[in-house]
Amino acid sequence: MLEEFLNFKQLKTSLKEATLLDYYTAGFWWAKEMNFSVIQLSGFMDLLNFLLENLSDKHMTLGDNLKELGRAMAGIGETDSERSGDLNFFSIEQAKAVIDYLNIRSLF
């Protein structure tokens, strides 16, 4: 289903499409194993896409991209609405798990 959603047409012959499918599938199943709600799962997938676009389109370094991740996750769990970001549907523990997951994935 993810292959169809991503509109991949050359999965069997395109290393890029196969790699992207693996990237998103691994992230999806990790988030499902974390028992994320539908909103959290959607937000996590958006985050995966955001970080990938930073690397591919903006040519950010891995370090700069991890800083962007930190900025995106800043304010989670805080009550001050100005400080909390768009990802405030994650608990503090979930946010830490997301950061750990993405830090580990970035090593490979």
Q: 55, 67 in Cβ contact below 8 A?
A: no
* Mean pLDDT of all residues in 4-18: 72
pLDDT of residue 79: 55
Does residue 108 carry a pLDDT above 50? no
Residues in contact with 105: Cβ distance below 8 Å, sequence separation at least 6, in sequence order: 26, 27
Name the pTM for this structure.
0.75
**How does pLDDT run across 29-61, given as a tens digit for each residue?**
999 999 999 999 999 998 898 888 888 888 888
Closest CA to 69 of 92, 96, 37, 47: 47
